[in-house]
Amino acid sequence: MTLLIVLSAKLAASALSIGSGYRGGMFSSSLFLGCLLGAAFADIAGDLVPRLGEHHTALMLVGMGSVSAAVIGAPLTMVFLVLEGTGDFPMTVAVMVGVIISSTIVRLTFGYSFSTWRFHQRGLSIRSPFDVGWLSDLTVRKLMRSDPNIADAISTVEELRKKYPLGSVRRLFVVENDQFIGSLDISALYDTRQPQTSRLPIVRDMVNAPLAYLLPSQNIRTALARFSDAKIEILPVLRSNDDKKVIGYLTEAYALRRYNQELERRRNADMGVRDLFPISEPPSIKE
């Protein structure tokens, strides 16, 4: 009874701590909860089957490994932890069985470990270890092209038509005083349905695309989300939020291709197969 009370109290304390936004302590808490659960099970099972009471320590270790594997999502770590701590192979096999069962139940019912779920709560849509770590290394700075097509806001349509024939580029980035104010699809320059006025139309009057852009420090996950939100295939890269000078651009197609190439390369590297997917230079939209 005492163990069940302590187990319930620890579960409530852990839930309140995590729900209140406190970070850390999940690994040690899962170990402690697993030990309490295993000890409580050993006491209850010992009353029903006296022979099980002789394996009190083993049941505690099985509970520790099973609960921790379900919470942390690291089954092999739990198995090796018990093996290193005890040096008892039969006990390690018992822990391995418990870890496999708990991990399988979690995968079939919840889909992923509690630790992965916490990443999802922070907006990191990871599904496996391949999505962790390298996402932050694959930044917009590494992916972008540094030759953006820039148009001054006071340029006339006729001037830009002479400079950019139809089909030569796909999108222009409009700046005013060297600061980004919007983008313009090249087809808009050749739209014959534009209203006729007494003065020559300038580019500033034609900018109607959302003011969406990327920053060099953003990772590929943020970039792909920005593409999805803006519904634009090409986005400019600005120096910073305060200094909106256009320093490059990135296409959604290239970002997706690099993401898939990097994912496959890392998967193959883990299997001992490297350099199967060489990374090429970003394609120019002028081609």
DSSP string, 161-225: HHHS-TTS-SEEEEEETTEEEEEEEGGGGG-TTSPP-SS--BGGGG--S----B-TT-BHHHHHH
Which CA distances in Å does 115 have to 103, 120, 267? 13, 9, 21
Q: Does domain 134-270 have CATH number 3.30.300.30?
A: no
Q: Check if the beta carbon of residue 165 is closer than 8 Å to that of residue 187.
A: no
The per-residue pLDDT for 248 is 93
The per-residue pLDDT for 153 is 84
- Spell out the per-residue pLDDT of the chain, length 287, in tens: 787 888 788 878 877 877 776 666 677 888 888 888 888 888 887 778 777 767 778 888 888 888 888 888 888 888 888 888 888 888 889 889 988 998 888 878 877 777 776 666 665 555 555 555 566 678 899 899 998 988 888 888 888 888 888 878 888 888 888 899 888 888 777 776 655 544 557 777 777 655 789 999 898 888 888 888 888 889 999 999 889 999 999 999 998 888 888 777 766 665 554 444 444 444 554 44
The per-residue pLDDT for 281 is 47
The per-residue pLDDT for 265 is 73
Q: Check if the beta carbon of residue 60 is closer than 8 Å to that of residue 81.
A: no
The per-residue pLDDT for 214 is 93
How is residue 190 written in tokens? 């050749």
Residue ranges of the chain that CATH labels 3.10.580.10: 134-270
User: 247, exposed or middle or buried, with CB in 10 Å at 0-12, 13-18, 19+?
Assistant: middle
Degrees, nearest 5: CA angle 207-213-217: 160
